[in-house]
Amino acid sequence: MTTGVRRRMGVEERRQQLIGVALELFSQRSPDEVSIDEIASAAGISRPLVYHYFPGKLSLYEAALKRASEDLAARFVEPHEGPLGARLLRVMRRFFDFVEDHGPGFSALMRGGPAVPADTDRPLDAVSRTNALVDSVRQAAYVQILAHLEVQDPPARLELVVRSWISLVESTALIWLDGRRIPRRELEVQLVHDFAALAAVSAAHDAEMAALLRRMFGNEPGDGPFADLVTRLVTLAS
């Protein structure tokens, strides 16, 4: 039986709907500028009913950040088939899809903290939970890349290249969001090229990294992004 024209939702279904509505609003404005009233109104329910499904603003915000983090981490998963450069480029495209879709929500997530409402009890716990969520996304990216490179026990220099490149990707996305003054398609390719460039610098300093680099990039095709970088650099130098 229903009490009106609107179909009654189950608890979990309603929670998922509210999370979706919140993320939609966070894609337009920073989470700390979005009120529970707006979320209730966009979901077509009353403010008290939102609090029935989420005990406080923070718990809804954290559920939304958690879903966004899981969505982002899932985009790093790429079949282990074909050349590495093309795989990395596909991941960068999906990453920028996420960044473009989530805009202010992504910035808030990556900068930590701002998503925490000012009236929260134990707000520092909330800040550290947000930081832990961001770290888990970074770790997911790191684990995926090592798996594609087929390295089980990474030497310190490879770990440094991969982790510092991940932070370069983050900061590039945040800078891009601030005005979008460079076409994202160009940045997606450039970040793949940056990975190769940082790996090459490390390999230019260390024999073990040089051997790894040869194995990783040795079979890249002439029409892939790594060959494209070499062609571009040769043109630049000439």
Residues that bind a copy of itself (CB under 8 A): 111-113, 116, 118, 123-124, 127-128, 131, 156-157, 159-160, 163-164, 167-168, 170-172, 175-176, 179, 181-182, 186, 189-190, 193-194, 197-198, 200-205, 210, 213, 229, 232-233, 235-236
Q: Least distance in Å: CB of 83 to a copy of itself? A: 19
Q: Least distance in Å: CB of 205 to a copy of itself? A: 6
Dihedral sign (CA 14, 124, 107, 198): negative
Q: Least distance in Å: CB of 201 to a copy of itself? A: 5
Q: Least distance in Å: CB of 76 to a copy of itself? A: 18
Q: Which is nearer to a copy of itself, 19 or 199 (CB)?
A: 199
Residues contacting 187, CB < 8 A, separation 6+: 96, 172, 176
Ordered DSSP codes for 126-166: HHHHHHHHHHHHHHHHHHHHHHHHT-SS--HHHHHHHHHHH
Q: Which is nearer to a copy of itself, 33 or 186 (CB)?
A: 186
Q: Which is nearer to a copy of itself, 77 or 201 (CB)?
A: 201
